[in-house]
Amino acid sequence: MTYPGEITRRQLLRRIGMAAFVAGPGAGLLSACATGGAGGGSAAPTTSIAASADAKNPFGVDARKPLEVVIFSGGYKDSYAKDLHEELYKKAFPGVSIKHTGTQQIGTQLRPRIVGGDVPDVLNNSGPDALDLAALAAEGHLADLAPLFDAPSIDDPAKKVRDTVTPAVIVNAKINDRDLVLNYTVSHRALWYNAKLFASKGWTLPKTWAEFTALGDTAKAEGILLFAYPGQKGPYYQLWNVLYTAAKIGGNQVLIDIDNLVDNAWNADGMRQAVAAWVDIQAKYGDKAYFGLDHTQTQVKQLQNELLFYPVGSWIENEMEKDKPADFEYAIAPIPDVTAADKMPYGAIQVGVGENFVVGAKGKNPQGGLEYLRIMLSKEGARGFTMKTRNLTVVNGAANGLDLPAGLMSAAKAQDAAGQNIITDARFEGWYKELFDYGTEQINVVMAGRITPEQFCTNMQRKADDIKQDEAVAKQTRSQ
């Protein structure tokens, strides 16, 4: 049964089964991201694999060569790689040996290896310990993915791989104007809550900041926190939240200026207002004890209805599936209007591509690495990923016909309601990891009240200026 204002599963799949990201009212929304730019540094040459004439083996993979795959075992776990993508690779090359590693310590495990020249063929670079991709690119460690995007797709050899994915994949692949990164998933980052709790209490989602704080008072009287984020292994969740709130207030230009290292970008009105608003929420409705919790511990607290809103992405539903009680139903809430003059209306939501995959240019089997990614971008590989992780991929139409969970349905409905009001990604996370890491430190400091919102913005701007002036750091630019 469909109620007024709801969307059917068929409509959902038409919108988030990836076709909606290519054509129709949402066209270009996900592609409104970065374009790599030159300047301020240079990148080492990348490995480029010459394409062969064989559509079934366009990279000339040697079936006798083993393949090494390293996966970030976070919200998506790593069984999608071990039990699906790697098995598909073995089916294509019978008898091949694959070394699989699933870890949450990507940087800790791989930095010493990379320094020693021992590089995996496929790397899912994600999580709080992710490697600096711009630095890897500068050292020539990332293989050129242009041959992958120009290769025939597995499902239809008459089509290139680039024509089977949302355009944001190609736009976001670039570092220094080279296609070096594959973003594999479509995610929605916003405030997540328990729809069943709200229904049982008769609460409605707050649309204004006054309604948000009023709900905070109501929840506080019942011993429930309005909001919390993990201070350990997850403060970047709150950094994202502040950045997207700033875009809600001042428009996407706030994020574009930050990414482009524009002078005084961190001191923009929207940024200062966003930080001040969330610091005030923490002071009045938060609990500093959460600064000592990691993301899993904080997420369990939400499952126990000890907090209402949690700033995270759509991977949360799969990550907590085994712990989720029957009376908990994940749903997504847009950021409430912070001011009466917010440039983006209530309902604006962040939608982006993410979950980075790269191929090691100096690995033992870069040809196999490219083929592995091509298999991931097949409908079988993408559909299987969605079934295992309950998250969408960037492959057009791969989710058609799947029975999707409540949280993902909620995110799709929110995206539908947002229309053109899509908050873009903040790209400096991948471009200038030092700046992003500094931001994750500073967000804890300001949220704890140890510095003011003005000091936070000043500190971030000073760090951005240092990076801008550092000629050793390759600079990137985006126009939208």
Please report whether residue 73 resides in a domain.
yes
**Residue 97 belongs to domain with CATH number:** 3.40.190.10
Contact yes or no for 168/30 (Cβ under 8 A)? yes
Please report whether residue 11 resides in a domain.
no
Please report whether residue 221 resides in a domain.
yes
* 387 shares a domain with 300: no
The pLDDT score that the predictor gives to residue 166 is 87
Q: Report d(CA 279, CA 276) in Å as an integer.
A: 5
Percent of the chain at pLDDT > 70 equals 89
Contact yes or no for 317/408 (Cβ under 8 A)? yes
* 168 shares a domain with 201: no
State how many domains the chain has.
Answer: 2
Please report whether residue 15 resides in a domain.
no
Distances (CA, A) of 217 to 38, 133, 335, 405: 50, 43, 18, 31
Burial of 368 (C-beta count, 10 Å sphere; 0-12/13-18/19+) = buried
Structural domain boundaries enclosing 179: 25-186+351-418
Average pLDDT over residues 36-47: 43
The pTM (predicted TM-score) of the whole model is: 0.80
Q: Report d(CA 229, CA 285) in Å as an integer.
A: 12
Q: Report d(CA 214, CA 226) in Å as an integer.
A: 10
Using only C-alpha atoms, the chain has a radius of gyration, in whole angstroms, of: 22
* 228 shares a domain with 88: no
pLDDT in tens, 231-251: 998 899 999 999 999 999 999
* 31 shares a domain with 116: yes
Q: Report d(CA 315, CA 322) in Å as an integer.
A: 13
Burial of 54 (C-beta count, 10 Å sphere; 0-12/13-18/19+) = exposed
* 170 shares a domain with 282: no
Please report whether residue 194 resides in a domain.
yes
Strand partners, 160: 152
pLDDT in tens, 404-454: 899 999 998 998 899 889 999 899 998 999 999 999 999 999 999 999 999
* 224 shares a domain with 179: no
Please report whether residue 252 resides in a domain.
yes
Contact yes or no for 19/164 (Cβ under 8 A)? no
Amino acid (1-letter code) at residue 393 = T
* 455 shares a domain with 319: yes
Distances (CA, A) of 62 to 335, 358, 361: 50, 20, 16
* 344 shares a domain with 277: yes
Please report whether residue 6 resides in a domain.
no
The pLDDT score that the predictor gives to residue 3 is 39
Confidence of residue 33 (pLDDT cuts 50, 70, 90): very low
Structure tokens at 379: 């409908």
Confidence of residue 52 (pLDDT cuts 50, 70, 90): low
Confidence of residue 14 (pLDDT cuts 50, 70, 90): very low
